[in-house]
Amino acid sequence: MSFALLTAVPAMGFHPTVAPLVEQYYAVLLWSTVPLLFYAVCRRYLQATRAVTAVMIALITANIINALGNWIFVYGHYGMPALGVRGSALATLCARLYMAASLIVSVVWYDVRRQTGLWRARRRIERVRLRRLVALGLPAAGTITLEVGVFAAATALAGRLTPAATAAHQIALNIAAVSFMIPLGLASAGAVRVGHAIGAGRPRAAAAAGWSAIALGTLFMTGAAIGFVAVPRRLIGWFTLDPQVLDLGAALLLVAAVFQLFDGVQGVATGVLRGLGDTRTPMIANLAGHWLLGLPVGYMLCFAGGLGAVGLWIGLSTGLIVTGVTLLWVWHARINALVREADLRGGERPQSVTALAPPVEHEA
C-alpha cells in the first residue's frame, strides 16, 4: 500500500516546487512502515502490562536519534553528504528502526523478569479468539487511520497552496501534534485503568479512572491553547524566520487554540471507551466528524472561500469539536449505565487485593 501511495503522489496536485520534495521524502520513509507496526504492537502490549517506562525511554531516545540524524543527514556532517529532505526521511527511518528494536527487546526482558508466559502461550489459531480480536482491533485501527488520514489529507491539500502556506501548515501541525502527546498518553493510561477496573467488576472505579484521565487531558490542553494564543510567533519562530511563514503559522496556531480542548477530549475519550471494549463508536465519530464534516468544510473554505490554509484549519477544528463532544457524551452515557447496572445488582463485586494494584515486580 505504501508503494501504491508513492506512485499516486504526482496525481495529488502538489505545488510544482513541493511535489519533487514529497516524492523524495516518501520514497525513503515508506521503508519504515513495517518497523513502525512492530513498534505499535509491542507498545500496546507493554502498556497493557503496565510496563510503560520502556515505551517512554524508547520514545525520548528515538527523538534524540531523529534530531541527531537530521543534523547529520540533512546538512551533511561527519563526512556524510547533505541529503536534504531525503536525509530527514532517513533520520526518521533510523529512529523507527531503533524504536521497534528497543521495544522488542523490552518485551523479551519483561517476560523473562515477570514470567508472564508470553513465549509459552499456545500458537494454535483459535477462531473464536481471532474473531474477538478482529471485532475489537479492526475498529480501533480504523479510528487511527481515519484520524491520522484526515490530517494527511489536509497536508496534501495544503501542498496545493504556496510553499510558504505548506511550510506554515506543517510547522503548526507539528506543534499541535506535540501538545497532543500528553492526551495520547493519558488515553493509553485511561484505557488500561478503565479496562482493569471493568474486568474487576468495579464500574465506579472505572468511572473515576476515566474522568480523571479526561480532566487531566482537558487541563493540559487548556494550557496549550493559552500558549498558542500568547506566543504564536515565538513558537513558529523555533522552526523558521521566514516572515510569510511566521505570519501564516501564527494565524494557524490561533485556530489550533480553539480546537485544543476538544482534541484532548476526543483523544482521551477514545482511550477510555477502548477500556470499556467500545472501539466502534470512536471509529464512527471520526468518520462523521472528520471526513463527512470537517474535511469538506475545510476544503470549501480553503479553495472556494479563498481562506487558504486558515480555512483548511477551520474545517479541521470543526471536525475535532464535533468528534470530541460526541465521544464525551457517549462515554458519559456508557459509564453511567454500567454504574446504574451495578447498583441494581446490589453493588460492585468485592475488589481482590491485587485486582487494581500494580504488578508485584516493578520495572527497573
User: Is 360 within the bounds of a domain?
Assistant: no
* Phi, psi at 71, each rounded to 5°: -65, -40
For residue 357, pLDDT over 50 is answered with no
Q: How far is CA 300 from CA 254, 293, 294, 307, in A?
A: 20, 11, 10, 9
Count how many domains the chain has: 2
Residue-wise pLDDT tens digits, 303-315: 999 898 899 999 9
Confidence of residue 347 (pLDDT cuts 50, 70, 90): low
pLDDT for the residue numbered 15 = 61
Backbone conformation region of residue 61, classed left if phi is above 0, alpha if psi is from -120 to 50, else beta = alpha
Residues 154 and 266 in one domain: yes
- Full residue range of the structural domain in which residue 65 is found: 1-114
Residues 196 and 97 in one domain: no
- CA 104 vs. chain centroid, Å, equals 21
Residues 176 and 93 in one domain: no
Residues 272 and 183 in one domain: yes
Residue-wise pLDDT tens digits, 66-111: 999 999 988 888 888 888 888 888 898 999 999 999 999 988 888 8
- DSSP-H helix ranges across 159-242: 163-199, 203-230, 232-237
User: Is 363 within the bounds of a domain?
Assistant: no
Place of cell 475535532: 320
User: Is 107 within the bounds of a domain?
Assistant: yes
pTM: 0.74
> How many Å apart are CA 193 and CA 43, to the nearest integer?
16
Confidence of residue 12 (pLDDT cuts 50, 70, 90): low
Residues written for the chain: 364
Q: Which of 19-33, 179-193, 323-337 has the lowest mean pLDDT?
A: 19-33
Residues 225 and 255 in one domain: yes
Residues 136 and 106 in one domain: no
- Domain edge (last residue) among 84, 114, 144: 114
For residue 361, pLDDT over 60 is answered with no
User: Is 296 within the bounds of a domain?
Assistant: yes
User: Is 126 within the bounds of a domain?
Assistant: no
For residue 229, pLDDT over 60 is answered with yes
